[in-house]
């Protein structure tokens, strides 16, 4: 039960209780917000992981293209696969989204996402994610038309791999931070809920003691009344 059901019961206690209750609900929502943030980051990181794999294959093809034992037909076949992989990088960048928000096409690179991770205003984490299109990675025009061009492609792909690695490391750091934030928010919400309960809820131990005391008094009263009723009956028995 509640110790304070209305303001008249304990005006100050009720005000404090309502404030704490609002904080607890805010903290619980912040936990859900942080969990959503982790889901968003995992979506972006999963897409970047695939981009990483494609870049590794592109590098392998560029190294192959740098070999002068290849014929023109060989180079054309390699270039076709390279072009297909570049198109796939662009597809990943333009279609990866979370709750309809594009994550890798550049939108989040210029306008940060703010995760509300606290119960009060200003308690946010700003997240940006670098653009992951082939053009942004400066590999859109790579070619293996000659050994020299293939070597240039290798250098460009190496830079792209470093850029994606940096992006993934940044996302991993933010995810770790959010996980720690969730743990901290959970403890804070639990402690505030306990404080609110102590103010608003009935002290069960005290109430049980009062209840037991009342029962004892009632039983004693009943016993005394019974004895009082028995006394006249005893006198009548003697008179008979």
**Residue 133: which residues within 8 A CB-CB, separation 6 or more?**
89, 90, 93, 94, 104, 105, 106, 140
> Which CA distances in Å does 49 have to 42, 45, 180?
10, 6, 23
CB neighbour burial string for 42-54, b if at least 16 within 10 angstroms, e if fewer: ebbbebbeebbeb
Task: Tell me which CATH homologous superfamily contains domain 11-200.
Answer: f41 fragment of flagellin, N-terminal domain (1.20.1330.10)
* CA separation for the pair 190, 15 (Å, rounded): 19
Residue boundaries of the structural domains of the chain: 11-200, 205-240
- Return per-residue pLDDT of the chain as tens, 240 residues: 455 555 455 556 667 778 888 889 999 999 999 999 999 999 999 999 999 999 999 999 999 999 999 999 999 999 999 999 999 999 999 999 999 999 999 999 999 999 999 999 999 999 999 999 999 999 999 999 999 999 999 999 999 999 999 999 999 999 999 999 999 999 998 988 887 777 765 454 555 666 577 777 777 767 677 676 666 665 556 555
Tokens encoding 42: 């995992």
Collapsing DSSP to helix, strand or coil, 99 comes out as: coil
> Quick one: how far is CA 151 from the chain centroid?
43
Distance, in Å, from the CA atom of 145 to the CA atom of 79, rounded to the nearest integer, reads 8
Global pTM exceeds 0.85: no
Q: What is the pLDDT of residue 55?
A: 98
Residues 153, 81: Cα–Cα separation, whole Å = 14
Residue 43: the pLDDT is: 98
User: How many angstroms separate the CA atoms of 171 and 151, rounded?
Assistant: 31
């Amino acid at each position: 039960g509640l110790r304070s059901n209305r303001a008249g019961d304990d005006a100050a206690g009720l005000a404090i209780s309502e404030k704490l209750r609002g904080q607890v609900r805010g903290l619980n929502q912040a936990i859900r917000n942080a969990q959503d943030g982790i889901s968003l980051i995992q979506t972006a990181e999963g897409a970047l992981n695939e981009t990483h794999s494609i870049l590794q294959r592109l590098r392998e093809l560029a190294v192959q293209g740098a070999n002068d034992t290849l014929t023109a037909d060989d180079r054309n076949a390699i270039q076709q696969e390279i072009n297909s992989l570049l198109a796939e990088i662009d597809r990943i960048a333009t279609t990866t989204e979370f709750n309809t928000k594009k994550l890798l096409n550049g939108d989040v690179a210029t306008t940060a996402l703010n995760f509300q991770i606290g119960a009060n205003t200003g308690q946010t984490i700003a997240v940006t994610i670098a653009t992951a299109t082939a053009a942004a990675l400066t590999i859109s025009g790579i070619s293996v038309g000659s050994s020299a061009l293939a070597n240039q492609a290798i250098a460009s792909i190496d830079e792209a791999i470093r850029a994606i690695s940096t992006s993934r490391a940044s996302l991993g750091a933010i995810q770790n931070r959010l996980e720690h934030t969730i743990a901290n928010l959970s403890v804070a919400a639990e402690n505030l809920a306990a404080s609110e309960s102590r103010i608003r809820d009935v002290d069960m131990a005290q109430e049980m003691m009062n209840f037991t005391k009342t029962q004892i008094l009632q039983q004693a009263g009943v016993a005394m009344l019974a004895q009082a009723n028995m006394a006249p009956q005893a006198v009548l028995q003697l008179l008979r």
